[in-house]
Amino acid sequence: MNDLSSCDGIGLRGMFSAATRWLERSAQSINTLNVFPVPDGDTGTNMLLTMRAAMEEASRSTDGDAAAIAQALAKGSLMGARGNSGVILSQIFRGLASGLDGKNAFDGNDLAAALVQSSIYAYKGMSKPVEGTILTVIREAADAAMTKSASHDGDLLAIMEAVVDEARASVARTPSLLPVLRQAGVVDAGGQGLYVLLEGSLQYLRGDLEEGDITPVEPAASPFLTSVEDAQYGYCTEFLLRGRGLDIDAIREKLTNIGESVLVVGDESMIRAHLHTFDPGAALSYATFLGTLQQVKVENMDEQHRDFIVAQPQSIAPDISIVAVASGKGLAEAFYSIGATIVVPGGETMNPSVQELLQAVESAPSQKVIILPNNPNILLAASQVPVLTEKKVDVVPTKTIPQGIAALLAFNNELDLEANAAAMEKSLTTVHSGEVTTAVRSMDINGISVKKGQAIAFLDRKPVAAEASLSLAVLKLLSKISVEQDGLITIFYGANTDSSEVEQIAQAIQEKYPGQEIEIVSGGQPHYNYIISVE
pLDDT for position 310: 45
Which range, of 40-44, 83-87, 95-99, 395-399, averages the lowest pLDDT?
Answer: 40-44
| Rounded average pLDDT over 478-493 | 80
Identify whether residues 418 and 471 lie together within a single domain: no
| Rounded average pLDDT over 98-102 | 96
- 468 exposed, middle or buried (CB, 10 Å; 0-12, 13-18, 19+)? exposed
Is residue 12 situated within a structural domain? yes
Number of domains in the chain: 4
Question: Band of the pLDDT at 261, cuts 50, 70, 90?
Answer: low
Sign of the Cα torsion 19, 21, 22, 28 reads positive
Identify whether residues 159 and 257 lie together within a single domain: no
Report helix angle 43-60 to 66-79, nearest 10. Answer: 140
Identify whether residues 290 and 358 lie together within a single domain: no
Is residue 216 situated within a structural domain? no
- In whole angstroms, how far apart are CA 311 and each of 2, 323, 401? 60, 10, 20
Is residue 219 situated within a structural domain? no
Residue among 354, 430, 367 nearest 398 (CA): 430
**Any idea what the CATH number is for the domain that residue 240 is in?**
3.30.70
- 473 exposed, middle or buried (CB, 10 Å; 0-12, 13-18, 19+)? buried
> Which residues share a beta bridge with 438?
455
* Tally of CA atoms within 13 A in the half-sphere of 33 that contains its CB: 24
Question: Band of the pLDDT at 221, cuts 50, 70, 90?
Answer: very low
- In whole angstroms, how far apart are CA 436 and each of 40, 88, 131? 12, 29, 29
- 75 exposed, middle or buried (CB, 10 Å; 0-12, 13-18, 19+)? buried
Q: Is the pLDDT of residue 223 over 50?
A: no
Which range, of 32-41, 143-152, 282-291, 349-358, averages the lowest pLDDT?
Answer: 32-41
Identify whether residues 385 and 440 lie together within a single domain: no
Question: Band of the pLDDT at 191, cuts 50, 70, 90?
Answer: very high
Domain hosting 527: range is: 432-534
**Any idea what the CATH number is for the domain that residue 413 is in?**
3.40.50.510
Q: Is the pLDDT of residue 113 over 90?
A: yes
Boundary (domain end) residue, out of 237, 270, 301: 301
279 neighbors 194 (Cβ within 8 angstroms): no
Identify whether residues 314 and 423 lie together within a single domain: yes
Q: Is the pLDDT of residue 229 over 50?
A: no
Distance (Å, rounded) from C-alpha 54 to C-alpha 38? 29
Is residue 19 situated within a structural domain? yes
Q: With DSSP H G I counted as helix, E B as strand and the rest as coil, what are the percentages for the chain, rounded to 5?
A: 50, 20, 30
Q: Which long-range contacts (CB under 8 A, 24 or more apart) does 70-77 make?
A: 70/9, 70/12, 70/96, 70/97, 70/100, 70/101, 70/114, 71/97, 73/12, 73/13, 73/16, 73/97, 77/50, 77/51, 77/53
pLDDT for position 302: 55
pLDDT in tens, 493-523: 888 787 778 888 888 888 888 878 888 888 8
Distance (Å, rounded) from C-alpha 453 to C-alpha 29? 20
Q: What is the mean pLDDT of the chain?
A: 86
Identify whether residues 196 and 161 lie together within a single domain: yes
Non-local (6+) Cβ contacts of 492 within 8 A are: 328, 330, 331, 334, 401, 521, 522, 523, 525, 530, 531, 532, 533
Identify whether residues 80 and 30 lie together within a single domain: yes
Is residue 214 situated within a structural domain? no
Which range, of 43-52, 415-424, 474-483, averages the lowest pLDDT?
Answer: 474-483
Question: Band of the pLDDT at 301, cuts 50, 70, 90?
Answer: low
Q: Is the pLDDT of residue 118 over 80?
A: yes
Is residue 211 situated within a structural domain? no
pLDDT for position 213: 53
Q: Which long-range contacts (CB under 8 A, 24 or more apart) does 508-514 make?
A: 508/471, 508/475, 509/474, 509/475, 509/478, 512/475, 512/478, 513/478, 513/483, 513/485, 513/489
| Rounded average pLDDT over 452-473 | 92
Question: Band of the pLDDT at 219, cuts 50, 70, 90?
Answer: very low
Identify whether residues 143 and 284 lie together within a single domain: no
Identify whether residues 329 and 440 lie together within a single domain: no
Distance (Å, rounded) from C-alpha 420 to C-alpha 440? 40
Identify whether residues 353 and 258 lie together within a single domain: no
**Any idea what the CATH number is for the domain that residue 134 is in?**
1.25.40.340
Question: Band of the pLDDT at 263, cuts 50, 70, 90?
Answer: low
pLDDT for position 499: 74
Is residue 501 situated within a structural domain? yes
* Dihedral of the alpha carbons of 68, 74, 79, 80, in degrees to the nearest 10: 110
Is residue 213 situated within a structural domain? no
Identify whether residues 417 and 454 lie together within a single domain: no
Boundary (domain end) residue, out of 274, 301, 328: 301
pLDDT for position 183: 84
Q: How many residues does the chain have?
A: 535
Q: Is the pLDDT of residue 222 over 90?
A: no
**Any idea what the CATH number is for the domain that residue 513 is in?**
3.30.1180.10
Identify whether residues 337 and 411 lie together within a single domain: yes
| Rounded average pLDDT over 128-136 | 94
pLDDT for position 318: 52
Boundary (domain end) residue, out of 430, 463, 496: 430
464 neighbors 442 (Cβ within 8 angstroms): no
Distance (Å, rounded) from C-alpha 306 to C-alpha 328? 13
End-to-end Cα separation, the chain, in angstroms = 65
Percentage, residues of the chain above pLDDT 90: 52
- In whole angstroms, how far apart are CA 369 and each of 133, 257, 357? 32, 38, 11
